[in-house]
Structure formats: C-alpha cells, structure tokens
Structure 1
Amino acid sequence: MVGIVIISHGDLAPGLLQAGSMVFGDQPSVGACSLTPDMGPDDIRAQIEGTIQGFEDPENVVILADLWGGTPFNQASAVLDGHQDTWAIVTGVNLPMLIEAYTLRMDASKSAHDIASQLVATGREGVRVKPESLDHTKAAQPTGAKPAAADLKNVAGGGRIKFVLCRIDTRLLHGQVATTWTKMTKPDRIIVVSDAVAHDELRKSMIEQAAPPGVRAHVIPINKLIAVSKDPRFGATRAMLLFETPQDLLRAVKGGVEIKEVNLGSIAHSTGKVVVTNAVAVDEADVACLEELADMGIKFDVRKVPADASISLANIMKKAKAELAGRVKE
C-alpha cells in the first residue's frame, strides 16, 4: 500500500489527518508531520524520514505538503532526492485531496506516481465558493438566469436502473457519503428518497448543492422511486440511494424496488432509542422493521465508512432487544 505523509506549518497536517479519519476511517501507513515555531529545518526533515520508515512499504510514498517553497516542502524535497522514481510530492493539500489519495491507494496496482498525478485535479475541484456568482473562473450566466434545478429526468438506456449502493443514514448526504462512498461506488446520480425531505425546499436545496463534482443529487418521494425503478428508460443510470429511516426503505421494497443489500450507516439517537453501535440507535419499531427487511432476504452491511469492519445485524438486533427489554423491566 502506498504510504502517505501530510506535512505542514503548524497544526494543519494533524488536523487534516484527524478530519480524514472522521470521513474515511483510520488508515494504515499515514502520518502527519508539523513544523512548529520552536523547530528548525532539520527537525521537520527527521520527522518526515522517521514517519516514512514506519510505513508498510517505505519505497512507495506520496507526500502531501501545504505550501510550495515552504520549509516543510523544501525538506521533503531533500528527502525525495534519490527516490524520484517511486515517491512524489503534491502541494496545496486539502481534505478532498487526502480523501482521493485514500481511495486511489485501495487499488494495489496504483503507484505513488499514479496517485499523485490524479490529486492535482481533485484538489482544485474541492475549491468552491457560495454564492457561486463569486466564482469568476466559470462563465457568467445571462442576467436573470437561474441555475437549472436538479431533476430526475429520463436518460437513455434499457433494463432497470442500477443501484450501486443503498444506504440508511439519518444525515442523508454528508461528507462521508459525498466523498468516501461516492468514490467507492461511482454513481452518476445520488437519489435521496424521502417524502418529508422532498417537500422541504430548504433541505432539498442543501442536499442538491452538497453533491460532489460530476454527480447529480436528486430528492424524490418514495412513490417516485418505485415508478423510476420499473422504468426501462433509466437503464443506463448508476444510482446511490439514501434513505433517512428503515421504515422508508421498507415502503420502497414493498412497492417493488429491488434491493438486495443495504448499508446501515447511521440512525440518530432520540427519545426511546437504545444505542447499539457508535452510529446506530434503535427502538422497537426500528428493530421490527430491520428484521422484516432481513427476513425478505436483504443483506445488511453495518458500517459508517468503507474502512470500518462490518458488524453483524443479528448481533446488534440481539443487543437492542436485550437493552429494550431491560429498560421495560426497570
């Protein structure tokens, strides 16, 4: 696996490392090196060298630096000397770039040079502004024109729409989904399926704007998904489905949406629910719904991000029942 070193002035590098873990999960062969005011050039160089030596494969390394020409970059360049054939440095590091590096190195065939060559575009794509009118790098729209609203329009194709991921997540489209899961499953559309959100213009707008570059996001009611799933005109579509609750998912499945596997990402805690994992809390209704879905032959992958180990649904259902029963006795 390609090793990754994040280097910066101050606490930027460890901060990015922590943020990357929140989005993608903890990663092996990754380290952060910081230049603090009390350190000299030799100190940061020693940090970089020591970090690389601790990697599984110290001969295949990408160094992500904050600033071209800064001391961390200059010392990394000195360390790079003699390793140009297998190491690379990319500057201007940001979180989208780091997540892309994590994703790319999951392909064992990719070298450090392969990864570095793709990171520059990702880093640039991650720089956006709101209002979008402030982005003068894009062609100005005619006066009075409004951006086209994201709508699930017919696309060419035959057969049925392909669901590359079906996920239950109270937060719906957020950082872990927009980056990690999208990169893993490569959808061309993200479809949030919720009657409530479809009629909430503010939430709907925020979700549509949260879509990562190159992927359109749509918010539709459950009945529309049922119709779309049976329409052969959507056969060329690769879609990620996001449900807010297991109850919404069950309605879709009973309506004829063919789903074989579900990623249970999170169910938020609220009054009456018991916590069964660090991201999932359930009550009696949730337990009954999840078990009904499992009895219908649907497989569950319980984890927040791809790097997490999958947890058995049967085990967390057993834990939930025990805790719910114990609470009733009290």
Structure 2
Amino acid sequence: MIVTVRVDDRLIHGQVALLWTKKLQADGIIVANDAAANNETQQMTLKMVAPYNVKLTIKSLSDAVQLLNNPKAKKMRIFVLVNSIKDALALVKELNEANLTVNIANAGRFDGEDIAGKLNLTKTVLVSDSELENLKALVASDNEIILQTLPDEPIKKAADLLKSHNKL
C-alpha cells in the first residue's frame, strides 16, 4: 500500500529519512526517477542516506509503476519519492491505487530553470507554467494533493493555494 507520494527535488535527505519515514511508518521507500535509476553514483548516495531499517528500491518511473501495481506491494507500507510534479502526475495516472496522498514538499528550486518566472506557492515549492498545468491536473484527480514540508507543519491543500493565487 502506498502511504504517500512525495514530490521532493532532493529525493532522499534528512527530513525524508528521519522524519517522514518514521511518521508514515514506512517499511519501504521507492524512488521513482529515471535519472537516479540510471546513475550508479546517485544510487549509492541515496542508499547512504536511506534509513537502514527501511527497504529502498530505486526504479525508473515506468518500472516503479509496474512494481507498485504488483499485488505484493499491497503488503508493505510504501513511501514513494519523485522529484517533479510532472513525474507525480505520470505515476498517479498509471497506478491501480485510488485516493492517494500526494505531498508536494520541495519542488522547482533545483530543476535548472530560472526561478524568477515561477509561481511561489510556498517557500519550498516554486512552479513553472508547465508544472502549474501538471499541478492543476493532479488537483483535478481523485487524490489528496497537499503541500507539507515537515510532519509538524500544517497541511496546505494545493487547491486552496492555487485559488489564492487565482490559478484555479
């Protein structure tokens, strides 16, 4: 069972490894990222920061979908990490699981695009025009789309933030 899909442009780091994995009681993390799946150095780095007691799997986006749609995946509490809203949308569209929580926590700061033209939804979420369209599509899905960087912060609904910026 997928406990949360998190958009985090850094994938695994201290907040994810220590705070979120514990809060979600995840016994598995799946990094769904094409670049990481094809980069041994990045895989080694992700493995070094992953919690030792949690199974880590690094897959391409399409391979992650296959793995998550396998009935055996329902037996675990899986925390899924992607690094863009685009990838979260692609993943959610292909999964056989409904009513997912998608947490857009850290996005748009390290994607190589100029931050000047991006919509600043929170201090850690900046969206370009194309990512804004992906976010709107996620909000229109039958899933809970939230923005929450740390577990002890209040949850912000993506739809409410988009409405406050006159984008929905």
TM-score by length of 2: 0.87
Alignment of 1:170-181 (within 5 A): 170-181=9-20
Can you list the C-alpha shifts for 1:207-243, whole angstroms capped at 9, x where unaligned? 1121113112221011112211222233322210001
Distance 1:216 1:248 in 2: 22
Alignment of 1:69-88 (within 5 A): none
Structure 1 equivalent of residue 154 of structure 2: 309
Distance 2:64 2:128 in 1: 26
Does 2:108 match 1:263?
Answer: no
Which of 174, 178, 201 in structure 1 is aligned with 2:40?
Answer: 201
Higher alpha-carbon Rg: 1
SS of the residue corresponding to residue 105 of structure 2 reads strand
Deviation (angstroms), 1:200: 1.4
Which of 170, 183, 206 in structure 1 is aligned with 2:22?
Answer: 183
Structure 2 equivalent of residue 294 of structure 1: 139
Distance 1:257 1:168 in 2: 19
Which of 250, 253, 267 in structure 1 is aligned with 2:89?
Answer: 250
Distance 2:152 2:31 in 1: 23
Deviation (angstroms), 1:206: 0.6
Please identify which structure carries the higher strand content: 2
Does 2:119 match 1:274?
Answer: yes
Distance 1:219 1:257 in 2: 20
Distance 1:220 1:228 in 2: 9
Alignment of 1:1-330 (within 5 A): 162-259=1-98, 260-269=100-109, 270-271=113-114, 272-318=117-163
Quote the sequence identity (%): 27
Deviation (angstroms), 1:281: 0.3
Distance 1:218 1:248 in 2: 17
User: CA contact under 8 A between 2:138 and 2:145: conserved in structure 1?
Assistant: no
Structure 2 equivalent of residue 118 of structure 1: none
1:203 counterpart letter in structure 2: Q
SS of the residue corresponding to residue 122 of structure 2 reads coil
User: CA contact under 8 A between 2:147 and 2:158: conserved in structure 1?
Assistant: yes
Looking at both structures, which has the greater relative contact order when contacts are Cα pairs under 8 Å and sequence separation is at least 6? 2
TM-score by length of 1: 0.46
User: CA contact under 8 A between 1:208 and 1:219: conserved in structure 2?
Assistant: no
User: CA contact under 8 A between 1:287 and 1:317: conserved in structure 2?
Assistant: no
Deviation (angstroms), 1:319: 5.1
Change (3 A) 1:312 1:237: closer
User: CA contact under 8 A between 1:282 and 1:320: conserved in structure 2?
Assistant: no
Unaligned runs of 5+ in 2: none
RMSD: 1.8
Distance 1:206 1:275 in 2: 29
